[in-house]
Amino acid sequence: MSKDVRGIERWKCACYKCSGNSEAIRKFSDKYIVPEKLVAEYVVHLAQIKIREEKKKEETERERMKRLKQEYNDIDWVGLYN
């Protein structure tokens, strides 16, 4: 599965969780007198932030592993100097 497809699947999953929790959204909306649409949009926004954090964590871990596997001859010493 490509990176883009995984990201879309995560986003769909986050939206599904939000829509599945409509009772909590309704209660929050009633309690704080905020339109349900805005609450639902913000919940989706928070889910997207979490997804971006997870993606960044994965990328960082991948880069760290790449650096750990790197050997002396793999380093571009001339490019590093310039």
81 domain residue, yes or no: no
79 domain residue, yes or no: no
Number of domains making up the chain: 1
By percentage, how much of the chain surpasses pLDDT 90? 56
46 domain residue, yes or no: yes
1 domain residue, yes or no: no
pLDDT in tens, 46-66: 999 999 999 999 999 999 999
Q: Are 37 and 19 in contact (CB under 8 A)?
A: no
**Low-confidence spans in the chain with pLDDT less than 70:** 1-20
57 domain residue, yes or no: yes
44 domain residue, yes or no: yes
Q: How far is CA 77 from each of CA 50, 68, 71, 73, 80, rounded to the nearest angstrom?
A: 37, 17, 12, 9, 5
Q: What is the model's pLDDT at position 9?
A: 58
Q: What residues make up the domain containing 33?
A: 9-70
76 domain residue, yes or no: no
